[in-house]
Amino acid sequence: MDNKTKPLKMKNLFTIISLAILFGTSATFAQDKIYKKSGEVLETKVIEIGTSEIRYKAFANLNGPNYVVNKQDVIKIIYENGKVETFENVAKEIAIETQKRAQNVYAEILGQGLLFSVNYDTRFSNKRTGLGGRVGFGGIGGGGESFITVPVSLNYLLGDGKNLFEIGLGATYASLATNDDFLFGDGGSTVLGTMAFMYRLQPIKSGFSFRGGITPFFSSEVFVPYYVGFSLGYTF
């Protein structure tokens, strides 16, 4: 073998090995690694870190679907740029928040307030779900006529996290300034029984909330099973 050829081949081999190491290192740091408490390491591209969840794509399939992992199941994330974010206190923070009594204020259209009402809602214990109640006040008027409502009800929240289902049973005092209404007869006022079967979006900590669903109402003279209600408010 030519003595000049041998050093050239060795130099080419060294170059190939160096490039392989370089590309291998680049590939390693081009992904976000999620370290779970179970010991599993997920090779990902982190999309979003929410209040209680982390959304990501699998690094091997960046065009694929988004995945979700609970923050309380994660120890840390090492990002592609080398930055490290830890989540050791997340489980404790979430536990504290879930032990806090959820309170809401919201404006409701239709629903148990019948037309429009402003309401206060709370749980009866230091929980985000379970048994609670609401009380509100509604009114509308014009042209010498007025319609006033006072909705009061008990409700129970089922579910975990921020997506809940509400079951409610209550009564609404309603007063109309004119007579001969089909709900009120000649008395001008009445008390209606009300129910609620609603989806509730209630943040784990605090923030804007939403409710929507079916709110039947009834009296001794009428039953309306397909009445609906919607509300927007704030949870604290």
The CATH code of domain 100-235 reads 2.40.160.20
For the chain, the straight-line distance linking the first and the last C-alpha, in angstroms and rounded, comes to 82
User: Structure tokens of 101?
Assistant: 């009594």
Cα separation, 189 vs 170, whole angstroms: 17
Tokens found for residue 51:
């209040």
Answer yes or no: are the C-beta atoms of 29 and 43 closer than 8 Å: no
Same fold, 33-98 and 100-235: no
Over the range 138-147, which residues count as b (16 or more CB within 10 Å of their CB) and which as e?
beeeeeeeeb
- Going by pLDDT thresholds of 50, 70 and 90, the confidence category of residue 142 is confident
pLDDT digits (tens, 9 = 90+) for 58-112: 988 889 899 999 888 898 999 988 898 888 766 566 555 556 889 999 999 999 9
Q: What is the mean pLDDT of the chain?
A: 84
Neighbours of 91 (CB within 10 A): 15
Task: Say how far apart CA 108 and CA 115 lie, in whole Å.
Answer: 8
pLDDT at 6: 52
Q: Return the higher-pLDDT residue of 23 and 108.
A: 108
Q: What is the CATH number of domain 33-98?
A: 2.30.30
Is residue 208 predicted with pLDDT exceeding 90?
yes
Cα–Cα distance measured from residue 74 to residue 209, given in angstroms and rounded to the nearest whole number: 27
Question: What is the number of helices (H) and of strands (E) in the chain?
Answer: 2, 16
The yes-or-no verdict on residue 12 having pLDDT over 70 is no
Query: Taking the complete model, does pTM exceed 0.75, yes or no?
Result: no
Lowest model confidence (mean pLDDT) among 1-15, 71-85, 163-177, 194-208: 1-15
State the average pLDDT over residues 186-214: 91
pLDDT at position 36 over 70? yes
Distance between CA atoms of 118 and 210, rounded to whole angstroms? 14
Residue 13 has pLDDT above 70, yes or no: no
Percent of the chain with pLDDT over 70: 78
Q: Which residue has the higher pLDDT, 200 or 88?
A: 200
- Which residues 6+ apart lie within 8 Å of 116 measured at CB? 107, 108, 109, 138, 139, 140
Parse the chain into domains and list their residue ranges. Answer: 33-98, 100-235
- Sign, CA torsion 92/95/100/104: positive
